[in-house]
Structure 1
Amino acid sequence: MKILGLSGSLRAGSHNAKLLRAAGNLLPPDVQLEVFDGLKAIPPFDEDDEHTRPDAVQALWDAIAGADAVLVATPEYNHSLPGQLKNALDWLSRPLAESPLRNTPTAVIGTSTGLFGAVWAQAEGRKVLAAIGARVIDRELPIGLADDAFHPHGHLTDDEQALALAGILAELVGEVDQTLTPARAAS
């Protein structure tokens, strides 16, 4: 099973990239987390270009199409999603009927340096992903004070937050299993 990780932060040393790595360490051995690192190269969405996707957009499209689930880790910018993440999701929504996110199990988590842990951005992310047709897990993982949230070895310093992250991952894997079980029975 493959989960595609998507960090809404573009910066080197991103706390949300750390959160994805911490998530990857909590997955069972038969589940692989692959982090997409090409978000910065995606150009602004332009409806004139939607039928000839730029290479960077096609790379994201293909990465999601090749995954069994998607895990988004987002910071919060001005009480919402970072523009580059929202832009990428807009590209993935066109045309809506063909979106690789349709019926894909998806979860949104996040961390920020403030107290609230990107809770509003996570809600916005779930809303946008649901509008695209993803099967969004209705849970959040707000991790505030991100500068102190990670152990030098990469895992979360707060055991309750690590347990909550493991629970979200188990639910995401369970959603994939529900999707794959009918396909396996048919083959």
Structure 2
Amino acid sequence: MAETTILTLVGSLRAESVNSKFAELAAEAAPEGTAVTTFSGLEEIPFYNEDLDVEGKVPAKAAELRAAVAAADGILFITPEYNGTTPAVINNAIDWISRPFGQGAATGTKAAVIGTSAGQYGGVWAHDDARKSLKVAGAAVLEDAKLAIGGSYQRFAEVEPKDDAEVVDGIKNVLSALAAPVLVDASAN
């Protein structure tokens, strides 16, 4: 049986980002037969511009992102919330993987969005916005695979995410949903 691959994209660029620690935990907590890797270098991808999105001009890092997403069985976006919405680096990544419209790298790929933020709701507005954009991009968004942890500055001031049972269980549940085989409804034919 082939290994299931899940690619994480992290919306915080800070060196000590708790969301980056969630990505590290995801790699450690992956179900058997599942490999989780994190795409690095989102900050190196220029803002999406159709003038750059032509054969021979696509920036190398954007092409690398598209290839990584296309090769993955699932995508796990791990993001905080900035000013009530998704960080620009996540929006930009979704823009690049959504093109060409209807045939982008994310088309048909299972996706989930989780994360932590300083606010009391843990970034749910950002997560909802990312899910909406991913649906438009053609991803198969898992609506029930969620984890939003609020109060990140206080909660993780002295405790690492890997030592927080709610976080560990939540990430394991989301990864299991992403790694699960897609069941085809035979009655739909």
Taking structure 1 as the reference length, what is the TM-score of the superposition? 0.87
Query: 2:15 is matched by which residue type in structure 1?
Result: A
Matched, 1:128 2:145: no
- In 2: Cα distance, 1:131 partner to 1:49 partner: 21
Counterpart of 1:170 (choices 149, 163, 176) is 176
Matched, 1:34 2:37: yes
- In 2: Cα distance, 1:162 partner to 1:33 partner: 15
- In 1: Cα distance, 2:71 partner to 2:159 partner: 31
Which residue in the other structure is 1:7 paired with? 10
Counterpart of 1:145 (choices 127, 145, 151) is 151
Tell me the number of residue pairs that the alignment of Structure 1 and Structure 2 aligns: 176
Runs of 4+ in 1 over 4 A off after TM superposition: none
When the two chains are superposed, the root-mean-square deviation of aligned CA atoms in Å is 1.8
Q: Does structure 2 conserve the Cα–Cα contact (< 8 Å) formed by 1:45 and 1:87?
A: yes
Deviations 1:52-73 (A, max 9, x none): 3111100101111121111000
**Structure 2 stretches lacking a partner, 5+ long:** 184-189
Which residue in the other structure is 1:110 paired with? 115
Deviations 1:139-161 (A, max 9, x none): 32111122324844x5151x234
- In 2: Cα distance, 1:156 partner to 1:76 partner: 23
**Structure 1 stretches lacking a partner, 5+ long:** 180-187
Structure with more of its chain in helix, by fraction: 1
